[in-house]
Chains A and B, each alone.
Chain A
Amino acid sequence: MAVITASRAHRGPNRLRRRIGDNLQAYLFLAAGLASFALFSWYPLVKGVILSFQQDNLVVPPYWVGLDNFRALFADPLFFTAWRNTLEFTGLALVFGYAVPFVVAMVINEFRHLKGYFRIAVYLPVMLPPIVSVLLWQYFYDPGSGLFNSVLESLHLPTSDWTQSPKMAMISLVLVSTWSNMGGATIMYLAGLSTIPSELYEAAELDGASVWQRVRHVTLPQMRFVLLVLLLLQIIATMQVFVEPYQLTGTTNEETITVMVLIYRYAFTVNNDFGLAAAMSVLLFVVLAAFSAVYLRLTRNAD
């Protein structure tokens, strides 16, 4: 026993050294990545959590305030408004932003010609910087002489005040967001659709299945995993909506203020209170982390 242990002990460090020696280069590459993550992701993350329990005026050292920031959050009526609006945006974004790209992908997939052209056309808006898309739509939405109302007027249809109307404001934001984001999802759906074996459709056709039955019994089951992953990714992305409400309706519009806009407002404009903003960020982080955990679990199982 002693001999075996000694020989193991003798062999151990050598093996370790050899293993390190073999992979030295890889470890060095890994170290750069880890250092970047540590500096730009993990360190701010930890500091953010600490800051949520502190008060900081950026001049004298920050001091602890316990749960005061969280209490202040719950006392602010805007806190609940922002979450409600964010959930409304996420819900509407799922109705539009989730279903539309899937339908578009199925339609493009059916084309025999010009498939490449449509793929690019759908993806183009993703290449625009988000603020540019939003500014473009701001002109479209102008209730005075904007593109949408001009078109509606020329067709003798009723016009809308779009972002200015309390009823239409949120839907208007979702439309911009859907237009500018659907390219990515469509491409992923197209990739998913291309992996469905054509024999399945042929068999369904032979059995006399209608178009809807083919979608219902072949496409949807085959695409289940892609649909689920994209659903989670979309929830995570849309809960962080910022640019659209910030630019189109402002940081004080109670109809459209979202969690991210409120964080920005707490930190940089109205309150100048970093502790409060950090507390709100921590809450958002917890919610998003839950969705991310489900996403990771799903994708790991798939591997």
Chain B
Amino acid sequence: MNRARRGRALGLVLAAGVTMTTAACGGAQESESVAGGPVTITVNGLPAATDEFNRAHFEADVKAFEAKYPNIKIDAKEGLMDPQTFSAKLAGGQLEDVFYVYLTDAQNLIAKRQVSDISTQLAGFPVTKDYKPGLMKVFSDAAGKVYGLPDENYSLGLIYNRKLYQRAGLDVNKPPVTWAEVREHAKKISALGKDIVGYGDYSKSNTGGWHFTAEVYSIGGDVAVKDGDTWKAAFNDDKGRQVLQQLKDMRFTDDSMGKRQLLEYDDLIKLMATDKLGLYVGSTGDMSNIVNQFKGTFADYGLGPIPDGKGTLGGGSGYMFKAGLSPEKIKAGLTWLTFKKNPDRIASDNKNAAAKGLPVGLPEPNVWSGASEQKLIEATKQYANIPSENFAPFAAATATIPLKLEPPNAQQVYAALDPVMQKVLTDPSADIGQLLTDAEKQVNQILSSVK
């Protein structure tokens, strides 16, 4: 009875949640104009109080910024992009003026007209011309209008556990460079014990589709291609089948992927940090999580290139400006973003981080090109403090492996591909051809709305 009531309450809450959103969304257009007067902008990205160093650093930045630009006040909020609360914040007028997004969200927000065009004001900030053009495209529409700026960028490689490599008698400095080698290494590592997983992969909360895409890219395949003016699915081919067949073989023939599946982002990080996992596809950001959240040490983990290396998925984050923002606020927001992320201050940021023992020099693809990129390279070299040999295989390959951006409507495409990964990793009789055909239909439907 209680549950019956609770169930109905959930239904109502959901209905209310869906419906109340409309109630609050009337006048979103910014009416106030503050010509000449002080402008206050709300921004997010303020680190949590538990992350002492980064929070203090952020707050010091706000102080220095307000001293330099007395006409702009920064109202900083905690949090990054949470897709589940984003809509509610937008509807309730609580969304920050300048807000954090993942690269996969940008095009969707532009298409839904939930962000402001910043092209006019951008001309006043020449440093933004040094952002990599490919990344700027993510924040632009088909007509070339710009709606946001990139902040960070990652590319996927292969994270491996050096302790388990040693125990399995594998060379700790030679992570696999092909998928065939991944299979061999995983077999040896999983032979170490019942609870040790050789190779791990995702299949829940859109991360399955994300990794399937990365793995298809790695062997030179594609997930979506442009066909004239529209996009269409491109994974229902030999490459798509190859990726799934290898996973199925590793899971059921070799038994090197462990029994527990339906894993999502944190699961593999936890397994790696607790020395229960040999290998998985990940980025330098995961390495930082392993070290920061689980108190691991960088020396125990290594990063190799994405196997086969025909292409690697690149993603990242940036900041966008909420719809209906006044030109003054857009200008203030751009002033803040270019103050906070500026090639001229990388050296001093690195110096501070190194002094606190935080990692400097993780080999990540960066957002800059030209002179700004040179400044970054110099400043990184000067203060790098992590065992670079652990990342050498990844860093060496970065220059030669092409970086491929995610497909349009990436999160929706990933959601449609999740069941494919789930089925292959949980059902020994999964029909790979049928799974790909079914997913292709769904992805084509999702892509049909992309211009």
Contact = CB atoms under 8 A, between A and B. Distances in A.
B89 to A, nearest CB: 10
A254 interface: yes
Interface string A125-158: 0100010000000000011110000000000000
A281 interface: yes
B366 interface: no
Contacts of A126: 2-3
B7 A253 contact: no
B412 A271 contact: yes
B123 interface: no
Interface stretch (A20-28, A38-46, A112-120, A205-213): A38-46
A181 interface: yes
Interface stretch (B299-307, B378-386, B419-427): B419-427
A41 B13 CA distance: 9
B10 A240 contact: yes
B260 A143 contact: yes
Interface in A45-84: 45, 47-48, 50-51, 54, 56-62, 77
Interface string A233-244: 110111011100
A45 to B, nearest CB: 7
A184 B3 contact: yes
A44 B84 CA distance: 20
B19 interface: yes
B130 to A, nearest CB: 31
B15 A58 contact: no
Nearest to A276: B18
A188 B15 contact: no
Nearest to B12: A41
Contacts of B416: 252
A62 B7 contact: no
A241 B14 CA distance: 13
B326 interface: no
B114 A59 contact: yes
Contacts of B35: none
Nearest to A141: B260
A268 interface: yes
Interface string A241-265: 1100000011111100000100111
A165 interface: yes
B411 A270 contact: yes
A25 to B, nearest CB: 28
Nearest to A277: B18
B11 A284 contact: yes
Given A59-B324, A268-B84, A164 B262 contact: yes
Contacts of A130: 3, 6
Nearest to B259: A143
A208 B161 CA distance: 73
Given A250-B204, A252-B204, A281-B15, A57 B113 contact: yes
B376 to A, nearest CB: 35
Interface string B1-25: 1111011101110111111111101
B318 interface: no
A267 B8 CA distance: 18
Contacts of B90: 58-59
Contact of A44 (B12, B415, B419): B12
Nearest to A97: B3
A57 B112 contact: yes
B415 A270 contact: yes
Nearest to B429: A166
Nearest to A271: B412
B36 interface: no
B195 A145 contact: yes
Contact of B11 (A143, A260, A274): A260
Contacts of A62: 22, 25
Given A47-B20, A166-B426, A270-B415, A285 B7 contact: no
Given A161-B259, A277-B18, A58 B7 contact: no
A187 B3 CA distance: 13
B426 A164 contact: yes
Given A51-B18, A51-B22, A284-B11, 20 more contacts: A45-B19, A51-B19, A54-B22, A56-B25, A58-B28, A59-B90, A59-B113, A130-B6, A143-B261, A144-B258, A166-B423, A184-B3, A230-B1, A249-B204, A267-B18, A268-B83, A269-B84, A278-B15, A285-B11, A285-B15
9 contacts: A56-B22, A58-B25, A59-B113, A60-B28, A77-B442, A164-B426, A241-B7, A250-B204, A251-B205
